[in-house]
Structure 1
Amino acid sequence: MSKEAFERSAAPGGMHHRLAAMAGDWEGRFRLWFEPGKLADESAQRGRIRVVGGGRFLLHEYEGRCSGERFEGVALWGYHLDDNAFECAWGESFGTGTSIMFSTGGVKDGRFGALGSYGAGRGGERWGWRTEISQLDPEHLDIRMFNITPTGDEALAVEVNYARASPVQD
């Protein structure tokens, strides 16, 4: 990647400019499904997204509760200019156990998307995990994650609907 290519991407309308627009403090609703169509849990979630690496990446740190238990997580998001691909590394205290999920994908219909996979345990079949991130306006950010069975059936598993957090008043 050349310096000029990154500068174009960081300029208005570029992919890195679009990512940087997601930076800020967020609060919203976390929803979880273990089975298609059967909501398992819903709670508040707070997140902070920071631009890191000289504008090349976003770091999303978040916390919430699931079934009354506190969880926290982190995701590193970026856009790989040479491969023309959105990339993500994600881990949390609830959903990924002790693994880090690596995902990659494209941008479609204004949504950043990435596909990764995880093991069902001790050599079992791998399941897919697709993440979509969309920002329809500067004040809202949606993150949706889909579970994909080894046979290819896909269902919504996690949805986070964020709104920008109000600044703390002194």
Structure 2
Amino acid sequence: MGKKQFEASIADGGHHRLAQMIGEWEGTFRLWFQSDQLACESPQRGTIRGILDGRFLLHEYRTRYRDDPIEGVAIYGLHLGENAFESAWVESFGTGTSIMFSAGPASTPHFNVLGSYGDGKGGPRWDWRTEIEQPDRDQLIITMTNISPQGEAARAVEVRYRRVATGV
């Protein structure tokens, strides 16, 4: 990545679009273990901030699964050389002790990456799609889809955020 290419991306390109997600957020976390049966709905608060001069976003959040607290951290980025969105995600609930690395083409209209995880028993890997849409400045929708080794997709997580107004 050249310096001029990055500066152009920050000014009015992909990094500029990602930067629109920076802020304080609150909303609702929904979790499904089976696509037709909601397992949990809880409040969620998150902060998204730019790091490394705007090269990446750091998303830190807290929510609950029933009575158990959940903390998570994700790094989102746009790899200019590969024209790809990338993320690294860890969570006290969903990822255990692993880091989920995901990537996807930046040609999609919103942040959309695909990672995978093992079943812990040596079986085939499952895919995990993370999509982030920002319909307007003050709304963020994060959708996570679980995809079986046979290719069957099922909703797993939805977070609907509203921007928290910050007073001066």
Asked whether 1:37 is paired with 2:23, we answer no
Q: Which runs of 5+ in 2 are unaligned?
A: none
Cα gap change, 1:118 to 1:38, in 2 (>3 Å): same
Partner in structure 2 of residue 3 of structure 1? 3
Match of 2:105 in 1: 106
Kindly state the Cα deviation for residue 168 of structure 1 after the two structures are TM-superposed: 5.6
Mapping of residues 154-165 of structure 1, within 5 Å = 154-165=153-164
* Runs of 4+ deviating beyond 3 Å: none
Aligned length: 168
Deviations 1:97-124 (A, max 9, x none): 0000000002455211000000001312
Residue 49 of structure 1: aligned partner: 48
Residue 38 of structure 1, CA deviation:
0.9
Deviates more, 1:14-23 or 1:120-129: 120-129
Structure 1 length as normaliser, TM-score?
Answer: 0.95
In the alignment, the residues of structure 1 paired with residue 124 and residue 108 of structure 2 have an alpha-carbon distance, to the nearest angstrom, of 31
Opposite residue 7 of structure 1, the aligned amino acid is E
State the TM-score, normalizing by the size of structure 2. 0.96
What are the within-5 Å matches in structure 2 for residues 17-166 of structure 1?
Answer: 17-107=16-106, 110-166=109-165
For 1:15, the equivalent position in structure 2 comes to 14
